[in-house]
Amino acid sequence: MFFCYFCNMNNDNNNTTSSCIDGIDEGHYSLDRNYELLDEIPSSGFNRLIRAERYGKQFLLKGLKPEYLTQSQYVALLQKEFEIALTLSHPNIARIYSFEEIPQIGPCIVMEYVDGRPLDKFLQENPSIKMRQRAIRQMLDAMAYYHSLQVVHRDLKPSNILVTHNGNNIRIIDFGCSDSDQYLALKQPSYTLAYASPEQIEGSPLDCRSDIYNFGRVLQQVFPRRYHAVKRRCCRHNRDARYPNAEAVRSAMFGFRRWIKYALLLLLILFIAISIHTLKHLNSEEFSYPISSDIVLRCKIKDSKAIIVGAEKVSGRLVLPETIRHFGLKFPLTEIAPEAFAHSDSLTHVVFPENLRLIDYQAFYHCPSLSDTITLPVGLDSIGEMVFNFCDKITTLVVRSARLKSAECKSGENRFHQCTHLHTAIFESTVEEMCPNLLNYVYELREIYVAEGIDHIGFGSFAETYNLRTLHLPKSLRSLDQSALFGSGIERLILPDSLETLGCMSLGMLYKCHYLELGPAVNHIGANAFYCLKAIDTLIFRAEVPPHYVDDPFQEIADEKPNRSFLFLVPAQSLEAYRADSIYARLNPQPMMR
């Protein structure tokens, strides 16, 4: 077919081709030398774009709008674009054929007609990551090619990057703003503001790094969530800080360094898989771990954490490490198993790591030489029963644990039973929740100090402390939970002004308390809150509004024969409100003297 086509051109006979094109209806093909103008494509600026057909093939004619045809500088710019683009031959750059004078249009660049859509329209179709990467690779190939010929496009943007409908291949078009070193004149500033480099806006001389900036702006649209480092470097204000050329950009995006990242990621996955396999094996294995010449621990690994299950020999001061090493790996020490150090007769001191989470049942049961201060660390979440029972030389308990709770019960609610020299308990400001029944049956406890910032005393926290003499409660305290001070030996108790709520039995059985004063904020009293305060002789309520109560909170304070020496004092201005309530009235409220 192509042979016949060239023969006919040489003979200037355009009507003899039907015999050479077998089976083709000649009505569909015309070998007329003239262009058949099909339609005009809307365009801005001084150019006009017309789709035309010649020899049965479509072309794009790029000419000048009528008002610019007589202005020589625009004709020269069109000629310059043709001369620059004619030197380019690359599959991802729209091809230029000729520069012709065409009736009805004037001087025109004849170029390839690309059946496609602009890049931004292509992105609206939500193409896959692989398709986007392919488009970027082709774009960089084209840029590297024309940069090697000292050509700068100067107006790289989505509308000048077409994606073909057939195959989704890139075609860079419109070199009307382009420049080359061979042109000393016609270097007019031209750009699209949204994609322009700083030097384009400033009117400075341009080089390929200006195209790199334009490309970076385009890349932001193609990959809004990827290649952040590449995009940042492409769009640096200082051109010296950008990539020097398209090859460098391609290497950064798709080169060997990216494969190193993938290889490292693969190695990391492999390492994790091997580690998981190793840890599964380690979980069932007990091993010895010496921490000093006097102490050898027996440990296990479970769920990537270390547990102390016992000790081969323990004497003197025990400082437990934060981590346990095994097979070259470090595991955080988070648990002391049941009876791990029980009956360690020579153990004198113990220091816990801050990351310890559990001290389990009877862990330090009957360590007769364990003395001085026990500090429960901040990270401790759970403490078992009878942990320090019969450690009768401990003198002070310091609680730093933020949210300590009881482990599963295996016996009665006690942890320091028969610690006969445990006289002082200190709760530091790191405490957020009190452990229920923590000090149950610590009969010899004399002093409790609760730091400022703590606002709640939990269930049974200080219950059964029969010999308690000093109780320092913080000004921040807002509630006493059920049985919080039940059965304590406090003789005189003035509760903080901030206290609002008294739980059920919270102050019950204070069998030594003769003076009890509540602040002005108390508004709720639980059932039996003041149960059986048989020693009480002075009870003061400073709340101006009688607090709401559940059932009768004053059982066995006032009965049919009240103690004549008992005083129930309330604010003078609220006296009638208290007397109007039958429960309060039984206590015979009297006005406080100012």
Considering only 62-71, 79-88, 274-283, 562-571, which range has the smallest mean pLDDT?
274-283
Predicted confidence (pLDDT) per residue in 97-132, tens digit: 999 998 888 999 999 999 999 999 999 999 999 999
Residues 301 and 416 in one domain: yes
Residues 202 and 231 in one domain: yes
Residues 168 and 244 in one domain: yes
Predicted confidence (pLDDT) per residue in 200-255, tens digit: 888 888 889 999 999 999 999 999 999 999 999 999 999 999 999 999 999 888 87
21 pLDDT more than 70: no
Using the 3D structure, point to which of 89, 112, 135 is the last residue of a domain: 112
Q: Give me the CATH number covering residue 76.
A: 3.30.200.20
Residues 135 and 105 in one domain: no
Q: Give me the CATH number covering residue 585.
A: 3.80.10.10
Residues 572 and 468 in one domain: yes
408 pLDDT more than 70: no
Residues 10 and 75 in one domain: no
Residues 294 and 195 in one domain: no
The whole-model pTM stands at 0.54
Phi, psi (5° rounding) for residue 447? -135, 135
**Could you give the percent of the chain with pLDDT greater than 90?**
56
DSSP secondary structure of 230-284: HHHHHT-SSGGGS-SSHHHHHHHHHSHHHHHHHHHHHHHHHHHHHHHHHHHHHTT
Check residue 323 and give its pLDDT. Answer: 94
What is the distance between the alpha carbons of residues 48 and 68, in angstroms, rounded to a whole number? 10
Residues 406 and 501 in one domain: no
Residues 295 and 354 in one domain: yes
Mean pLDDT on 468-483? 94
Predicted confidence (pLDDT) per residue in 339-377, tens digit: 999 999 999 999 999 999 999 999 999 999 999 999 999
Using the 3D structure, point to which of 445, 474, 505 is the last residue of a domain: 445
Check residue 414 and give its pLDDT. Answer: 82
Residues 24 and 130 in one domain: no
Residue 13: pLDDT band (50, 70, 90) is very low
193 pLDDT more than 90: no
Considering only 21-30, 146-155, 358-367, 560-569, which range has the smallest mean pLDDT?
21-30
Residues 193 and 273 in one domain: no
Predicted confidence (pLDDT) per residue in 496-550, tens digit: 999 999 999 999 999 899 999 999 999 999 999 999 898 999 999 999 999 999 8
What is the distance between the alpha carbons of residues 331 and 500, in angstroms, rounded to a whole number? 45
Domain count, the chain: 6
Domain that holds residue 46: 32-112
Using the 3D structure, point to which of 445, 476, 495 is the last residue of a domain: 445
Residues 316 and 440 in one domain: yes
What is the distance between the alpha carbons of residues 299 and 472, in angstroms, rounded to a whole number? 40
- Mean pLDDT (the chain) is 85
Residues 231, 252 contacting (CB under 8 angstroms): no
Q: Give me the CATH number covering residue 128.
A: 1.10.510.10
